[in-house]
Amino acid sequence: MDEPNGTDGAPQDVTAVVDRIEDGLHAVLLVGPDEVELVVDATLLPEGTGEGDWLRVGFVRDPALTAERRDAIERRLERIRRTRKGGRFD
């Protein structure tokens, strides 16, 4: 199941192994067949997960959240543009 998302947009799982947990706060995962290192908040892991455990990690696009965040960024930029005439955001 280590294939990218299909054209239908359905989420696909990727495997990851917990390489280590640092300071009890951060987990270092080795993700996918190339074992790309990914550091995540350890509280995001399922309860009881420890070093050497294998996980299935999925990514799901959230169009509503994307639109919400883009709108918030645009509002901030507009405030900056109004208060900093002649700046680099003009």
Q: Which residue has the higher pLDDT, 44 or 86?
A: 44
Q: What is the pLDDT of residues 23-72, one digit of tens each?
A: 989 999 999 999 999 999 999 999 999 999 999 998 889 999 999 999 99
Q: Does 55 share its domain with 68?
A: no
CA-closest candidate to residue 27, choices 13, 12, 35, 17: 17
Band (89; pLDDT cuts 50, 70, 90): low
CA pair distance 14, 57, nearest whole angstrom? 5
What are the residues whose beta carbons fall under 8 Å from the beta carbon of 6, sequence distance 6 or more? Answer: 12
CA-closest candidate to residue 45, choices 16, 23, 70, 73: 16
Residue-range definition of the domain harbouring residue 82: 61-90
Q: Does 72 share its domain with 47?
A: no
Mean pLDDT of 68-82: 94
- How many domains is the chain built from? 2
